[in-house]
Amino acid sequence: MSDFIWEPTPDYVDNANVTRLMRRHGIDDFRALVRKSCDDIEWFWSAAIEDLGIEFSTPYERLLDDSDGPQWPKWFTGGTINLTYNCVDRHALSNLSDSTALVWEGEDGDVQSLTYAELARDVNRVANGLLAAGIAKGDTVGVFMPMMLEAVVALYAIAKIGAIYLPIFSGFGPPAISARLNDSKAKALITADGFYRRGSKVDMKSVADAALEDSPSVESVFVCARFGDDITLNDRDRWWDDAFGTESDALDAPHLDPETPFMIAYTSGTTGRPKGSVHVHGGFLVKIAAEVAYQLDVKPRDVLYWVTDMGWIMGPLEMIGGHAGGATVFMYEGAPNYPEVDRLWSMVAAHR
């Protein structure tokens, strides 16, 4: 076997998140932690929740109820939680309020950012706008957007009100989009006029319009302007700024059952009909927060960047995992090797 490319220094190990967890419980060996986590899952997940500071608005009475069989587990029974509160609101109310939550770089080099306080403000405006548009708990909202700050705002706004977030890959054509909208019975779609890739404009609105011709459940469409070009909107469409810009920036996070659906993530469809996987507020938040904290060792104010699209599972994963831990998440709009092959590494150097 070849040598490892990188090995942690003793100081790195001593200050790792997983070391903190072990130290809190008197565990000296990582393998012993792994064994204990498998032998006593109720201990492990309760310990992780406490260590990571995840907040339940109502404490759960039982961590896991598998009385209906292992295929139908119920997690955190008797408790209530809100994913957006844990990823956004609680940091906006803490000493991380002015810490950067998101950094975005466009392919043209433009850079924008949001602090946790600004992210909370924008999330509340969009959440209030969705409520005003008739979107309620349990309704599905499709999000067909490029890598832009508003795509993350939309994710958290949808989740905050108990609606269901439906991520759709920004490169899909109309049939793939309508298949997901129809299968999930989406009530609304949030999209953009387009984005830049390899120096060219990629139109999204016309693709969305074509998909919506075969998506009868969609009643409302919200369009975010990346280009700001003069495009035609129909009676169903509203510009993002018009729909959300004047809404209140205050909204208390509702207390949700941990099994409340948060997201429907579809398989790619390359080997058959796309299949929707339902993820919930409690399980997705706790599992992904633990993965990013203990496997990636991401800490508050660290910068996390994953080369992905918000339409794939890794987009929501990096956002929720990073933000649950108070980190800064970096997003990039275009091709990672444009205009030069070192574009990705130049961004890493600039935003590390």
CA 88 – CA 86 distance, rounded (Å): 6
CB atoms within 10 A of CB 37: 17
- CB-based contact 259:280 (threshold 8 Å): yes
Q: Show the tokens assigned to 197.
A: 């890739």
Residue 68 belongs to a domain:
yes
N residues, the chain: 352
Confidence (pLDDT) at 270 = 79
Is the pLDDT at 2 greater than 70? The verdict is no
Residue 110 belongs to a domain:
no
Residue 338 belongs to a domain:
no
CB atoms within 10 A of CB 38: 9
Per residue in 229-264, pLDDT tens? Answer: 888 898 999 999 999 999 999 999 999 999 999 999
Residue 11 belongs to a domain:
no
Confidence (pLDDT) at 3 = 83
Runs of H (alpha helix) within the chain: 10-14, 17-24, 30-39, 41-52, 83-84, 90-92, 116-132, 149-160, 174-184, 205-212, 240-244, 281-290, 314-324, 343-351
Residue 95 belongs to a domain:
yes
* pLDDT bucket at 46, cuts 50 / 70 / 90: very high
Q: Where are the beta strands (DSSP E) in 235-307?
A: 237-239, 261-266, 276-280, 303-304
Confidence (pLDDT) at 310 = 97
Confidence (pLDDT) at 325 = 98
CB atoms within 10 A of CB 144: 26
* pLDDT bucket at 273, cuts 50 / 70 / 90: confident
Confidence (pLDDT) at 138 = 98
Residue 249 belongs to a domain:
yes
Mean of pLDDT values over 302-330: 98
At residue 260, the 3 state secondary structure works out as coil
Mean of pLDDT values over 91-95: 98
Residue 257 or 3, more confident: 257
Per residue in 143-156, pLDDT tens? Answer: 999 999 999 999 99
- C-alpha R_g of the chain: 21
- CB-based contact 196:104 (threshold 8 Å): no
* Structural domain span for residue 84: 40-100+115-297+309-326
How many folded domains does the chain comprise? Answer: 1
Residue 341 belongs to a domain:
no
Closest CA relative to residue 287, chosen from 49, 93, 101:
49
Is the pLDDT at 228 greater than 90? The verdict is no
Confidence (pLDDT) at 232 = 83
Confidence (pLDDT) at 303 = 99
Mean of pLDDT values over 319-348: 97
Q: Which amino acid is at 291?
A: E
Q: Which amino acid is at 126?
A: V
CATH number of the structural domain spanning residue 283: 3.40.50.12780
Q: Which helix (H) or strand (E) holds 196?
A: strand 194-197
- Main-chain phi, psi angles of 271, to 5 degrees: -115, 20
* pLDDT bucket at 269, cuts 50 / 70 / 90: confident
Is the pLDDT at 1 greater than 70? The verdict is no
Confidence (pLDDT) at 291 = 98
Residue 89 belongs to a domain:
yes
User: Parallel, antiparallel, or unpaired for β 194-197 and 328-332?
Assistant: unpaired
Confidence (pLDDT) at 199 = 95
Per residue in 167-206, pLDDT tens? Answer: 999 999 999 999 999 999 999 999 999 999 999 999 999 9
